Amino acid sequence: MDAPAHELPKKYRHAILSLIKGLICLSAIASFIACVAIYYPESDFHFWGYVMFAALYLIVFLANANMYRCFNIGMLRRRELVFSFCIASFLTNFIMYFVISLLCKFIIDPLPLLAVLLFQWAAGSLLLLLANRMFFLLRPVRNAAMVCSQDQHETETLEKFQNMRDSYRIVEVISEAAGFDAIAAGLAPYSTVIAGAIDASLRQKLVNFCFEHNKRLFVLPSVQDIILHNSHETFVGDSVVYLCKNRAFTIEQLAVKRLMDIAVSLLGLLLTSPIMLVTALLIKLYDGGPVFFRQVRYTRNLERFTLIKFRSMIVDAEKDGARFTTPDDQRITPVGRFIRRTRIDELPQFFNILRGEMSLVGPRAERIENADYYCEMLPEFRYRMKVKAGLTGYAQIYGKYNTSYEDKLKLDLLYIENCSLIQDLQLLLLTVRVLFLPESTEGFRSTTIGELQKEREHRDELDRSA
């Protein structure tokens, strides 16, 4: 059973958290309206004008807060919550600054709004940390059981659940070989069930069992699950059918997406040119080696292109063959460590985008050796190449450098099956948050494809002998 300590009825827990979220919104709106009333009298609002302006501010703030998930209390880590809130409030005030300027018919002084923003960051961060603390105090840790098949991918997922000690405690792991009756009996004491890569018929029984007994169910999806989940409902006569798209974008959307790629890449090159110039000088001064790193990668339809990045490793870093980046990799230079952490090394890819080899948003461009190996191990991995490789995307935002290729594929399929120009804009805005999350650049434990293959073969041998 779940731990009863500090447990309150669910409605009270939600009420407390909703109250804190309301206080965050209220403090943001009140400070902004006070700033407008005191420092921008040219806006000439009356009572109902301020009410409407407050409503507009709330709508913009909630839209940004939803995009950056800054109210996902208990789901995101404290640092992510605070940083997401800071970005959401900054974007809201940035937008409203231009709205006030339009109302006043001149560019207003931004300093009062900057002071308000600092207050909002301080007050909002404190309230979010309080809400996060209250979430774990009032919500018991859920004891969970996992039904698995000993697949390597689900073993990695199990490890991730075990790291969520404040939310879930994996008490029992049951093999699908036990049969449904034994599994159902074993799941009886637990409120949370995790279904791994188990047989489809067993999973269906498990879904029905959990639904009937009001148990929370996590399912590790297959590639086909993601494709079907993101299909479109339509009708054939009076029958409901699911339609899976055979192309990611229409011709019109591709044309607009290409225009957006050209416009944003040109703007990006213009704005970041001072940063790129300084970076090039630092790399050259450090060891006198080449400034750029060039490597052949795959893009749409398995076409090959030469990707350009700033060199972050020593010269001849792969003279002994291709190797993954590992934690504390000695091949990375001091300059390289900084530009990798801040993603400055990715900026030259604007040239790839401008030439049409890449897009702003899309799956990460994989090197040839890695992609060929992943396609051999998981043929569906080639589905990622239905669209152009991208500078940013689902896998780049929600994944890490060392995210397994199975999870990379699923993240990229989520983008491909849901892609739209609006989603591209959202992902571009979400990319800002990734720049400050060092976990996204973690290295692999294995250093080469060969080691990765041997490690997988060793684990498969252990699974067979278990």
Confidence label for 293 from pLDDT (cuts 50, 70 and 90): very high
Whether 370 contacts 401, CB under 8 Å: no
C-alpha to C-alpha distance for 441 and 325, rounded to whole angstroms = 9
Q: Is the dihedral of CA 80, 82, 85, 89 positive or negative?
A: negative
- By residue count, the chain amounts to 466
Q: Tokens 């300093």 appear where? A: 111
With 0.85 as the threshold, say if the pTM is over it.
no
Cα maximum dimension of the chain: 78
User: Are 335 and 310 in contact, with CB atoms under 8 Å apart?
Assistant: no
Please report which residue ranges of 188-305 form alpha helices under DSSP H.
200-212, 223-229, 251-287
CB 202 within 8 A of CB 179: no
Q: What local confidence, expressed as pLDDT, does residue 461 receive? A: 53
Structure tokens at 385: 């190449």
DSSP 310-346: E--B-TTTTTTS-----TT-TTB-HHHHHHHHTTGGG
Exposure b/e, 141-153, CB count within 10 A at least 16 = b: ebbbbbbbbbbeb
Residue type, 130: L
Average pLDDT over residues 206-222: 91
Q: Given the structure tokens 């999973």, which residue do they identify?
A: 203
Residue 466 has pLDDT above 50, yes or no: no
Q: What are the pLDDT digits (tens) for 159-200?
A: 788 777 778 888 888 888 888 999 999 999 998 999 988 888
Determine the residue type at 22. G
What pLDDT band is residue 436 in, cutting at 50, 70 and 90? low
Higher pLDDT, 419 or 11: 419
